[in-house]
Structure 1
Amino acid sequence: MKRVLFMLLLVICASPIIAQTTDSIPRLDPKTRKVLNSQDQAAYQLGLRYADPIVAKTKLYELMVRNPEDLRYPELLAGLYFENNQYTSAALVAMDILSVNDKSVGALEIAAYSLEQVGALDRALPHFESLYLLTGDNFSLYKSGFIQYSLKRYDEAMNSANMLIKNAKAEEKIGFNTTEGVTQEISMKAAALNLKGMIYLDQGSKPEAKTAFEEAIQLDSNYELAKENLKKAQ
């Protein structure tokens, strides 16, 4: 894992903007370009149809080189890498897209979740924060808060948790794995209260932590994680 992170950081520091990679390639006349694009798009679709991601990715690379100004192709490539659990590649492509368009929600999502998957939490966090600012999505805010907590940025994490407690909608749910390996759907507000309790617990404030965990359980009486955390606060 450390080697993967080192390689990722190395490539990130040297990563060029997408359009710069094709500056030295002669441009085709529009008619030829259109024909080749149509052929490669058809081959890409066939690669997907026949579950051959290698062919699909190869055709996307050819389309990217031929159409450096068109972000559709790197967006598809980032998605393909992500779907195939190639998180380092997905993150690198997504961050190149963001260097051109920092408001691409799809690229922000892929960058955030991919960087989280490879353990680069400090790099994933700004993307989750940007997602929340752009979309108002409370799940992105929860992810931001949890990563802030994991990085011991407690003031920021507490602010995120309090925002969620205030703004979470009654119907919003988030999934947590139980000790039996079953996914338990919990209300976003209860999850935020549990997160708040965890922050207090880390800071040695057991009475405040206990109150937060108890409030979480009041909202979701079967909230297993909050019950386990409450025992730590006794």
Structure 2
Amino acid sequence: MKHVLFMLLMAVCASTTIAQTIDSTAVSRLDPKIKQSLNIADQATYQLALRFNDIAVAKNSLYNLIVRNPEDLRYVEMLGSVYYEAGQAMSAALVSMEVLKVNDKSIASLEIAANSLEQVGALEKALPYFETLYLISGDNFSLYKSGFIQYSLKKYPEALNSMNMLVKNAKPDEKVGFPKSQVETQEVSMKAAALNLKGMIYLDQGSKTEAKAAFQEAISLDPEFDLAKENLAKTN
């Protein structure tokens, strides 16, 4: 974990973008027709590599495209997606953070950065990306994730505020999945999930009466909500 956080710190402190680190003079010397032909070849190779699940070749093609087209963020965004889909969260986070230095409103990069940073345990760094994602997109799941991370970091007032907003704004068809076992997931309504987390916040603060009321309301919405039932038992 210390190694992961050190790598992230180094990435955040670096002020240069990909475009600034590439020798633009060498790139500019390429004949435009040759450059276009090479781009077409790498784009075709990338598509074929994805089709055959050859992640190494797909990444290599994208790196070629990035070096040849340093100002085109599309290829950097695509690289972040490839890393993320391949389960390489650390690399996915670093690439997406690079995109966000240039375009801080890239929804795809915000999603990848937030989720990847959470996966590697860098919750403090993941939180602002989830918060920004909610502010830009209005995505309620991002609001739930923000609240859960705030709760995990013991930022209780912020977490409670997030869950109050979610209880008010959650849509009936929105769901959150909770693991029941290694192979089974239980889906409950977003509002019930928010109420359960609200109860957990109260429980951590020693407010059992408020916690009990929140858990009971969550169960009234989803009577089979196992986690809420387990949490309710802790209030007795």
TM-score range for the pair, normalised by the shorter chain length: over 0.9
* Counterpart mapping for 1:1-234 below 5 A: 1-14=1-14, 16-26=16-26, 27=28, 28-179=30-181, 181-234=183-236
Task: Identify unmatched segments of 5+ residues in structure 1.
Answer: none
Kindly provide the amino acid, as one letter, of the partner of residue 6 in structure 1. Answer: F
Contact 1:98–1:104 (8 Å) recurs in 2:
yes
Name the count of aligned residue pairs.
234
Distance 1:117 1:185, change over 3 A: same
Whole-Å separation in 2 of the counterparts to 1:224 and 1:15 = 47
Gaps of at least 5 residues in structure 2 are none
- Percentage of matched positions with identical amino acids: 68
Deviations 1:143-171 (A, max 9, x none): 00000000000010000000000011111
CA distance in 1, matches of 2:194, 2:227: 12
Task: In structure 2, give the amino acid aligned to 1:7.
Answer: M
Query: How much does 1:30 deviate?
Result: 1.8
Q: Which amino acid aligns with 2:62?
A: L
Cα distance in 2, alignment partners of residues 128 and 113 from structure 1: 8
Letter in 1 for 2:201: I
Q: Considering only aligned residues, what root-mean-square deviation do their CA atoms show, in Å?
A: 1.3
**Contact 1:186–1:223 (Cα < 8 Å) also in 2:** yes
CA distance in 2, matches of 1:72, 1:180: 36
Task: Measure, in 2, the Cα distance between the counterparts of 1:180 and 1:58.
Answer: 34
1:3 to partner: Cα distance = 2.1
- Shift of residue 19 of structure 1? 1.2
Work out the CA distance in 2 between the residues paired with 1:180 and 1:51. Answer: 26
2-structure distance, mates of 1:124, 1:84: 19
The whole-number CA distance in structure 2 between the counterparts of 1:93 and 1:15 is 14
1-structure distance, mates of 2:11, 2:167: 39
Aligned-partner SS, 1:185: strand
d(CA) in 2 for partners of 1:56, 1:125: 30
Give CA-to-partner distance per residue, 1:184-223, whole Å, 9 cap, x none: 1100110110011000000010111011000100110000
**TM-score normalized with structure 1 length:** 0.96
Taking structure 2 as the reference length, what is the TM-score of the superposition? 0.95
Tell me the SS of whatever aligns to 2:132.
helix
Equivalent position amino acid for 1:75 in 2: E
* Greater mean alpha carbon deviation, residues 37-46 or residues 188-197: 37-46
The alignment partner of 2:121 has SS state of coil
Structure 2 distance, partners of 1:180, 1:224, is 15
Deviates more, 1:182-191 or 1:41-50: 41-50
- Following superposition, the deviation at residue 7 of structure 1 comes to 2.4
